[in-house]
A and B are shown apart, each in its own frame.
Chain A
Amino acid sequence: MFPTTSMDTLKIVYFVLGLSIVCSAFASCTKTKPEQLPRLGPYERIDGEKKYHPVRHFELSNQNADTIRPENLAGKIRVADFFFISCPNICPQLQAEMLRIFEVFSEEQRVVLLSHTIDPKRDSVEALAKYAYNLGISDASRWHFLTGNRDSIYTLADDYFNIAVVDPSAEGGFDHSARITVVDTDGYIRATANGLVKAEVDDLIANIQLLLYEMDNNNTSPD
């Protein structure tokens, strides 16, 4: 379930802000937990408890030709999307929304962006390096533009709630969704948005802030 309309998210943010003010005056309420984002995606019931699937392990190259695995992103919230450089329709707008998220969290080292190309044949490390440079991204450790084995990327896309398929009849040769997905430090999906809908991305930004609050307060994520 995904409970967050913009109003709901605003309420939560105000609630959290209010709590921090009240709690600075009364030490007794430090144990109060704010509302938490649920884990999302497929799950199995084991002994009556929901067991969610984390995003699988991966090994891809970024724009600096560094190999990036989940281990390199330890302790960071991942904001992921799937695109390709020559994409004529939805990617430009999707990447503009990713850029907006990047700018909101430009000073927050615990948030990292991952843009995976679904056209690794053309989008080489060099092509991605140029693309990142053109976008003004000088520090690859803040926003990785990832390429690698096509099948691995397409399977990974499934985990991130994205669909990527080669389709010669589609504009640019690929069909794909424009979903932006937020993964917590344990590898579980906690929020997602349609990257073409500004209001959904606004909610996503608020949800990333909630996750940071959760990290600040050492709250364990929900099972």
Chain B
Amino acid sequence: MADGTGLRANIPPLAGADYLKKQQDKISCIIRNGQVGEIVVNGITYDEPMAGITTLSDFQIANNINYINHAWGNDYGFVKVEDIRQQLENCK
């Protein structure tokens, strides 16, 4: 879990996750608003809801994304707070 591997078929992994790599512009909205419905990660379909964390600021969300983008061997680049603000505006 703390190693980014998720929780079997209930929670998708972040470590080495193609979804994280390819859908960078969606991550901020998932963190703030949660995720409902099917999501395919590394070829596996996950369909358990996750609540959003509304208490995190735009800045904190950017920091979180920069962390998961570089933890567990991930190398998915850095995001700027400005980009995150824009994305969060669009997913309101």
Contact = CB atoms under 8 A, between A and B. Distances in A.
Nearest to A198: B2
Contact of A88 (B1, B9, B50): B50
A172 interface: yes
Interface stretch (B16-24, B51-59, B82-90): B51-59
Chain A: interface residue count, which band?
20 to 34
A184 B6 CA distance: 31
Contacts of B2: 93, 96
B42 interface: no
B48 A87 contact: no
Given A86-B34, A86-B48, A171-B51, A93 B8 contact: no
Interface residues of B, number: 17
Contacts of B51: 86-88, 171-173
A54 interface: no
Contacts of A122: 49
Contact of B48 (A134, A169, A173): A134
Given A86-B34, A93-B1, A93-B2, A134 B50 contact: no
Interface in B4-60: 6-11, 34, 48-55
A92 interface: yes
A95 B1 CA distance: 9
Nearest to A85: B48
Summarize B's interface: helix, strand, loop or mixed: loop
A92 B50 CA distance: 10
Interface in A65-94: 85-89, 92-93
Contact of B10 (A134, A171, A172): A134
Contact of A135 (B1, B9, B34): B9
27 contacts: A85-B48, A86-B34, A86-B49, A86-B51, A88-B34, A88-B50, A88-B52, A88-B53, A89-B53, A92-B7, A92-B10, A92-B11, A95-B7, A95-B10, A99-B7, A99-B8, A122-B49, A131-B10, A133-B9, A135-B7, A135-B9, A135-B10, A171-B51, A171-B52, A171-B54, A171-B55, A172-B51
